[in-house]
Amino acid sequence: MKKSELIFIPLPETGHLLSTIEFGKRLLDLDRRISMITILSMKLPYAPHADASLASLTASEPGIRLISLPEIQDPPPIKLLDTSSETYIIDFVAKNIPFLRKTIQDLVSSSAQDSNHVAGLILDFFCVDLIDVGREVNLPSYIFMTSNFGFLGFLQYLPERHRLVSSKEFEESSGDEELPIPAFLTRVPAKVLPPGVFDKLSYATLVKIGERLAQAEGILVNSFSEVEPYAVEHFSRGDYPRAYPVGPVLNLTGRTNPGLASAQYEEMMKWLDQQPDSSVLFLCFGSMGVFSAPQIKEIAHALELVGCRFIWAVRTNMEGDGDPHEPLPEGFKNRTMGRGIVCSWAPQIDILAHKATGGFVSHCGWNSIQESLWYGVPIATWPMYAEQQLNAFEMVKELGLAVEIRLDYVADGDRVTLEIVPAGEIATAIRSLMDGDNPIRKKVRDIMLAARKAVSNGGYSTVATGDFIKDILGDHV
Ligand code: UDP
**In this predicted structure, what is the pLDDT of residue 218?**
98
pLDDT of 36 higher than 90: yes
CA-proximal residue: ligand 1, atom 18 (nearest) = 365
Mean pLDDT for all residues in the chain: 94
**In this predicted structure, what is the pLDDT of residue 259?**
78
Q: Name the fold adopted by 3-247+455-473.
A: Rossmann fold (3.40.50)
**In which band, very low, low, confident or very high, does the pLDDT at 439 lie, cut at 50, 70 and 90?**
very high
Closest CA to 43 of 64, 66, 24: 66
Model confidence over 313-351: pLDDT tens digits? 998 776 666 677 788 999 999 999 999 999 999 999 999
**In this predicted structure, what is the pLDDT of residue 320?**
60
Distance (Å) from CA 109 to ligand 1 centroid: 37
Distance (Å) from CA 124 to ligand 1 centroid: 17
Distance (Å) from CA 116 to ligand 1 centroid: 36
**In this predicted structure, what is the pLDDT of residue 321?**
66
Ligand 1 pocket: which of 223, 368, 381, 382 to mutate (most atoms within 8 A of CB): 368
pLDDT of 115 higher than 80: no
**Domain residue spans in the chain?**
3-247+455-473, 262-451
Model confidence over 217-240: pLDDT tens digits? 999 999 999 999 999 999 999 889
Ligand 1 pocket: which of 11, 13, 14, 381 to mutate (most atoms within 8 A of CB): 14
**In this predicted structure, what is the pLDDT of residue 171?**
64
Model confidence over 352-391: pLDDT tens digits? 999 999 999 999 999 999 999 999 999 999 999 999 999 9
Distance (Å) from CA 99 to ligand 1 centroid: 29
Same fold, 3-247+455-473 and 262-451: yes
pLDDT (average), residues 175-189: 93
Atom of ligand 1 nearest to the CA of 348: 7
pLDDT of 394 higher than 70: yes
pLDDT of 477 higher than 60: no
Q: Please tell me the pTM assigned to this model.
A: 0.96
Distance (Å) from CA 243 to ligand 1 centroid: 24
- CATH class for domain 262-451? alpha beta
Model confidence over 257-304: pLDDT tens digits? 877 889 999 999 999 999 999 999 999 999 888 899 999 999 999 999
Ligand 1 pocket (Cβ < 6 Å) reads 14-15, 18, 284, 286-288, 313, 345-346, 348-349, 365-368, 371
**In this predicted structure, what is the pLDDT of residue 317?**
72
Atom of ligand 1 nearest to the CA of 288: 23
Atom of ligand 1 nearest to the CA of 315: 8
Distance (Å) from CA 289 to ligand 1 centroid: 9
pLDDT (average), residues 69-92: 94
